[in-house]
């Protein structure tokens, strides 16, 4: 938007010298919701409402105070950014030690500013100051009106006569009122990512956090949801979704207070991270992201997914490349000839790109297993005597693109890089090294290391301008956190992530659109901080399609299908059709030995890829409706429908083997136009099989949504893909 328009659109509200009794309401509204802040008579900034918005914003002034009976708590429990060390005795959002050693903080409202960035996006900024110390915090609320999404962060600053220590420095502090609160959270491990748990919150503090440094999400992702009053279903109930846009240690405290209200405090984890802030220096926290729906989990997901495509994910509305990956086909065991064959197979299969995985680099300590070579990013001369460029050329000759795996943040103890630059490695100088997957992490807080990591990518592209894709892996957590570069070790975890983002910024400045997959020993690093730089992510090394139905289901609450990289592999016992159908529910790839496919299997895959070409736009850019939950019945069913509600695709699977359980059938469709007429045709049939679905029948959208449709999934038809088309 042009600066002139911004100027005209921007509305500056500066309020000063108001009388002591005056209260000011600051409603931060989106299409359906409002977060209403109130400046009370003591200039404290409190949250008086979070949830559905009112038709007349003036009525917010009539919201009764919750604390009539407990005046002592006024402005403490529901503070919009709770300081510590003065009147507040609850979990703080911010806690500091001033330059003079004093530990108290109070924050009073000074002014606020509402800036309309464009028709849909508004930034509300509120300045708070401590009356006793020259210390200030600006709260920022960036709202996306149509999507009902808010990003909230804070900027902390002071002008004291020395450094201030930030002991806690949250991005956001929310305050929610309901009868009861139900937290849905996720846990995981390698090959078991995104395992859901849902339970009622009890009094006290429930903390979701990680201290792993890198691969921050592997045990505990930062995405969560809280249902209000009762567990929200797919289509009903009030639910808040939250997540931190940060690829490192995070901490989210959910405190059910003595007045039965929920305080949510989210930010970078302050674990081992007390931050020394110089006078006039700004500390900007990462955004805490949230959306709220009173129409259930499905509506909340679609809002978040559409926001992510429009505003966050790199090229979120663009296209993606289908691919053949060699990891499970070869592991470390390959040479140029073998790869040439795989490149030919890529063409034969009909996908866009061949992706060369781990094992292609290092000479002194060749990368023939996972315990050597990381850091030495020259092609291995024995395996690839003619380098990467000959592979890129071969791909071009075969009319496919070429992509490559790197793990640039890591170093093997057996590597030339480690020998040359031991000071670049994260380790405790006085302690024995401790490895995760036989490797160590490079110190990205060090600008020299940032240059090195940037250089890995830049060199690959400079030497191979036709290189079309990168898989960026990150397999180790940070043990023995210590930087030989940093003077203040308490800054390490934060500076690591800042360093990573600096590198990614530089890469994107020079290579703005090249697709890069975010991978972390499976799905160890998936968050919207990182996804600004990546076009897709690897959900898990677990590609057993039955497991994937569940895992992709859980990821889909927070992430759209276009970023979900799903590969057909040999994991699991399901036939190739089942495996391919599941992988099609996102960004399709293959990691199989094409030459070992039977004739029919190959023919099926080739046809599936062609079919996918026609469906992918609906899957990637359409709205997603979860129809039948695999955790609740025998059948899983997921629908994607385009904006015009004319074209859809429904994936259906048998996920249980109980006899005669038809209770969830027929499956009621969602998101259609009740007045449109549709036909339903089964697609992606395995060669030699026929469909039991009558594609000649015509249904109204109303019928399909009120009565439903039976995809006829059964033991002989475990996986059924249906194409829904509007009939004129």
The tokens describing 245, both together, are 């846009």
CA–CA separation, 163 vs 490, rounded Å?
14
Which of 84, 82, 85, 80 is closest to 25 using CA atoms? 80
Assess 405 for contact with ligand GLA (CB under 6 A): yes
Q: Name which of 53 and 471 has its Cβ closer to ligand GLA.
A: 471
Q: Does 357 bind ligand GLA (CB under 6 A)?
A: yes
| Min dist. Cβ of residue 376 to ligand GLA (A) | 15
Which run of H or E residues covers position 284? Answer: strand 283-284
Q: How far is the CB of 587 from ligand GLA (least distance, A)?
A: 14
Q: Which is nearer to ligand GLA, 405 or 686 (CB)?
A: 405
Strands (E), 20-120: 24-29, 33-39, 45-52, 94-97, 108-116
Q: Which of 33, 88, 412, 475 binds ligand GLA (CB under 6 A)?
A: 475
**What is the distance between the alpha carbons of residues 90 and 188, in angstroms, rounded to a whole number?**
30
Contact pick of 283, 292, 327, 501 for ligand GLA (by CB under 6 A)? 327
| Alpha-carbon gap, residue 563 to 220, rounded angstroms | 20
Question: What DSSP string describes 437-449?
Answer: TTBEEB-TTSHHH
| 473 interacts with ligand GLA by CB under 6 A | yes
- Compare residues 326 and 580 and give the one whose CB is closer to ligand GLA: 326
Distance in Å, CB of 358 to ligand GLA, minimum: 3
Q: Minimum Å distance from CB 345 to ligand GLA?
A: 19
Shortest CB 410 distance to ligand GLA, Å: 10
Residue with tokens 């429009």: 310
Query: How far is it, in rounded angstroms, from Cα 445 to Cα 492?
Result: 7
Question: In this chain, which stretch among 345-353, 499-507, 516-524, 546-554 interacts with ligand GLA, using CB under 6 A?
Answer: 516-524
Give CA–CA dist 526/216, Å, rounded.
Answer: 8
- Of 495, 527, 536, 541, the one binding ligand GLA (CB under 6 A) is 541
Site size with ligand GLA, rule: CB under 6 A: 12
| Beta carbons of 630 and 655 less than 8 angstroms apart | yes
Smallest separation, CB 521 to ligand GLA (Å): 4
114: tokens are: 């509402």
In DSSP notation, 537-590 reads EE--S---HHHHHHHHHHHHTTS-GGGEEEEE-S-SSS-HHHHHHHHTSSEEEE
**Cβ-based nearer residue to ligand GLA, 37 or 218:** 218
CA distance 709 to 627: 11
Candidates 339, 519, 563, 650: give the one binding ligand GLA (CB under 6 A).
Answer: 519
Give the nearer residue to ligand GLA in terms of CB position, either 533 or 537. Answer: 537
Of residues 247 and 723, the one with the C-beta less far from ligand GLA: 247
Residue among 356 and 494 whose Cβ is closer to ligand GLA: 356
- Residue 544, interface with ligand GLA (CB under 6 A)? no
Please tell me whether residue 358 binds ligand GLA under the rule CB under 6 A: yes
536 binds ligand GLA (CB under 6 A): no
Output the smallest distance, CB 539 to ligand GLA, in A: 10
DSSP state of 70: G
Query: 61 CB contacts (<8 Å, ≥6 apart)?
Result: 23, 25
Quickly tell me which residue has 């509204």 as its tokens. 29
CB of 328: closest distance to ligand GLA in angstroms?
A: 8
- The CB-of-519 to ligand GLA minimum distance in angstroms stands at 5
Q: Which stretch binds ligand GLA (CB under 6 A): 255-263, 445-453, 519-527, 529-537?
A: 519-527
When binding is defined by CB under 6 A, the residue of 521, 529, 545, 622 that contacts ligand GLA is 521
Decide: helix, strand or coil at residue 713.
coil
Among the listed ranges 32-40, 56-64, 108-116, 514-522, the one in contact with ligand GLA (CB under 6 A) is: 514-522
Three-state DSSP at 591 gives: coil
- 522 contacts ligand GLA (rule: CB under 6 A): yes
Give the residues across from 471 on adjacent strands: 405, 517
User: What is the Cα–Cα distance from 632 to 658, expressed in whole angstroms?
Assistant: 12
Q: Output phi, psi for 707, to 5 deg.
A: -100, -50
Q: What is the DSSP letter of 134?
A: S
Which stretch in 144-152, 218-226, 518-526, 649-657 sits in contact with ligand GLA by CB under 6 A?
A: 518-526
Site string for ligand GLA, 270-309 (x = CB under 6 A): ----------------------------------------
Q: How far apart are CA 503 and CA 444, in angstroms?
A: 9
Smallest distance from ligand GLA to CB 538, Å: 6
Interface segment toward ligand GLA; rule CB under 6 A; list 96-104, 256-264, 517-525, 573-581: 517-525
Q: Is 193 in the site for ligand GLA (CB under 6 A)?
A: no
Binding mask 363-402 for ligand GLA (x = CB under 6 A): -------x--------------------------------
| Closest among 594, 597, 638, 635 to 615, alpha carbons compared | 638
Q: Could you say whether residue 472 binds ligand GLA (CB under 6 A)? A: no
Q: Which is nearer to ligand GLA, 473 or 554 (CB)?
A: 473
Interatomic CA distance for residues 724 and 671, integer angstroms: 12
Q: How far from 249 is each of 160, 212, 222, 286, 356, CA to CA, in Å?
A: 28, 7, 9, 11, 31
Smallest separation, CB 651 to ligand GLA (Å) = 23
In the range 550-609, which residues lie near ligand GLA by CB under 6 A?
none
Find the residue with minimal CB distance to ligand GLA: 358
| Nearest distance in Å: CB 541, ligand GLA | 5
Query: For the CA atoms of 125, 131, 133, 134, what is the dihedral angle to 10 degrees?
Result: 40
The site for ligand GLA (CB under 6 A) is made up of 327, 357-358, 370, 405, 473, 475, 519, 521-522, 538, 541
């Amino acid at each position: 938007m042009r600066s002139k328009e911004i100027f005209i659109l921007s509305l500056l509200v500066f309020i000063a010298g108001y009388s002591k009794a005056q209260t000011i309401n600051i409603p931060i509204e989106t299409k359906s919701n409002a977060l209403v802040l109130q400046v009370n008579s003591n200039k404290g900034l409190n949250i008086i409402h979070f949830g559905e918005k009112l038709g007349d914003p003036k009525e917010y002034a009539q919201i009764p105070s919750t604390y009539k009976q407990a005046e002592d708590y006024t402005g403490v429990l529901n503070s919009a950014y709770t300081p510590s060390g003065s009147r507040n005795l609850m979990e703080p959002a911010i806690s500091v030690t001033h330059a003079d050693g004093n530990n108290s903080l109070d924050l009073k409202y000074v002014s606020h500013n509402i800036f309309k960035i464009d028709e849909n996006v508004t930034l509300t900024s509120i300045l708070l100051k401590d009356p006793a110390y020259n210390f200030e915090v600006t709260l920022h609320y960036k709202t996306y009106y149509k999507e009902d999404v808010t990003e909230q962060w804070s900027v902390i600053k002071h002008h004291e006569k020395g450094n201030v220590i930030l002991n806690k420095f949250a991005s956001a502090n929310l305050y929610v009122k309901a009868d009861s609160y139900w937290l849905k959270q996720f846990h995981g491990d390698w090959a078991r990512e995104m395992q859901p748990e849902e339970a009622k919150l009890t009094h006290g503090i429930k903390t979701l956090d990680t201290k792993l440094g890198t691969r921050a999400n592997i045990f505990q992702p930062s995405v969560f949801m809280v249902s209000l009053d009762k567990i929200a279903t797919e289509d009903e109930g009030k639910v808040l979704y939250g997540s931190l846009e940060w690829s490192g240690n995070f901490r989210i405290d959910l405190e059910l207070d003595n007045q039965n209200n929920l305080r949510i405090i989210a930010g970078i984890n302050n674990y081992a991270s007390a931050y020394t802030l110089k006078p006039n220096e700004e500390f900007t926290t990462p955004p805490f992201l949230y959306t709220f729906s009173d129409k259930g989990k499905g509506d909340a997901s679609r809002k978040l997914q559409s926001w992510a495509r429009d505003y966050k994910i790199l090229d979120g509305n663009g296209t993606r490349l289908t691919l053949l990956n060699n990891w499970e086909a070869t592991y470390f065991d390959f040479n140029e000839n073998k790869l040439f064959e795989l490149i030919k197979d890529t063409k034969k299969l009909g996908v866009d790109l061949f992706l060369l995985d781990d094992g292609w680099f290092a000479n002194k300590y060749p990368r023939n297993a996972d315990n050597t070579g990381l850091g030495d990013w020259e092609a291995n001369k024995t395996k690839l005597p003619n380098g990467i460029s000959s592979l890129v050329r071969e791909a071009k000759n075969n009319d496919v693109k070429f992509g490559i795996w790197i793990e640039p943040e890591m170093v093997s103890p057996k590597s030339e890089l480690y020998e040359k630059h031991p000071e670049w490695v994260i380790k405790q100088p006085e302690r024995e090294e401790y490895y995760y997957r036989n490797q160590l992490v490079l110190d990205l807080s060090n600008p020299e290391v940032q240059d090195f990591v940037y250089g890995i990518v830049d060199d690959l592209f400079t030497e191979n301008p036709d290189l079309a894709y990168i898989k960026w892996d990150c397999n180790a957590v940070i043990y023995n956190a210590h930087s030989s570069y940093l003077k203040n070790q308490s800054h390490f975890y934060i500076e690591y992530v800042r360093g990573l983002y600096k590198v990614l910024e530089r890469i994107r400045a020079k290579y703005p659109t090249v697709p890069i997959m975010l991978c972390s020993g499976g799905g160890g690093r998936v968050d919207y901080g990182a996804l600004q730089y990546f076009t897709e992510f690897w959900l898990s090394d677990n590609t057993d399609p039955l497991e994937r139905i569940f895992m992709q289901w859980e990821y889909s609450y927070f992430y759209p299908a276009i970023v979900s990289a799903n590969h057909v592999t040999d994991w699991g016992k399901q036939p190739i059709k089942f495996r391919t159908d599941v992988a099609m529910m996102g960004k399709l790839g293959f990691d199989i030995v094409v030459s070992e496919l039977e004739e029919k299997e190959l023919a099926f895959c080739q046809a599936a890829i062609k079919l996918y070409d026609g469906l992918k736009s609906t899957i990637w850019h359409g709205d997603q409706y979860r129809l039948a939950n695999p955790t609740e019945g025998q059948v899983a069913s997921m629908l994607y429908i385009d904006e015009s509600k004319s074209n859809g695709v429904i994936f259906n699977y048998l996920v249980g083997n109980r006899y005669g359980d038809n209770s969830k059938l027929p499956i009621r469709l969602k998101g259609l136009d009740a007045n449109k007429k549709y036909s339903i045709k089964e697609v992606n049939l395995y060669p030699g099989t026929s469909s039991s679905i009558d594609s000649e029948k015509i249904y109204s959208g109303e019928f399909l949504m009120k009565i439903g449709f039976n995809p006829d999934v059964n033991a002989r038809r475990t996986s059924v893909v249906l194409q829904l088309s509007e009939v004129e």
